[in-house]
Amino acid sequence: MTSVITLSPSLAALTDEIGSIRAEIARLESLNDQLTDQLKLSGAGKYQGAIYKGTVSEVKGREKINWQAIAMHFEPSRQLITAHSSIGEPSLSARFAKI
């Protein structure tokens, strides 16, 4: 028979680990954005590295429709807006900041 030992980290250690992971993700996302912007400066094309290849493409602008402005143009009553409004289920949120 094999026994399993489950270690549960303290909440302080768990909080620090999550915060550390999120800080590293933020650092890597920032670096990724900077390097991607640098590659985009070279223009559209295919770029070959030793391990990865990348493609920079021109993408058509996305159409955005301001539905709120359109709805307000028709001057809906507060009752109509309330009848078609809803509130989602409550949930938990976790935020982390360096002390």
| Non-local CB neighbours of 42 within 8 Å, separated by 6+ positions | 56
pLDDT at 2: 72
| Most distant CA atoms of the chain, gap in Å | 73
Max mean pLDDT among 4-8, 10-14, 63-67, 91-95 falls in: 63-67
Q: What is the pTM of this model?
A: 0.68
Query: What is the per-residue DSSP string for 55-74?
Result: EE---PPPP---HHHHHHHT
Residues 35-87: tens digit of each pLDDT: 999 999 999 999 999 999 999 999 999 999 999 999 999 999 999 999 999 99
Ordered by start, the domain boundaries in the chain are: 11-57
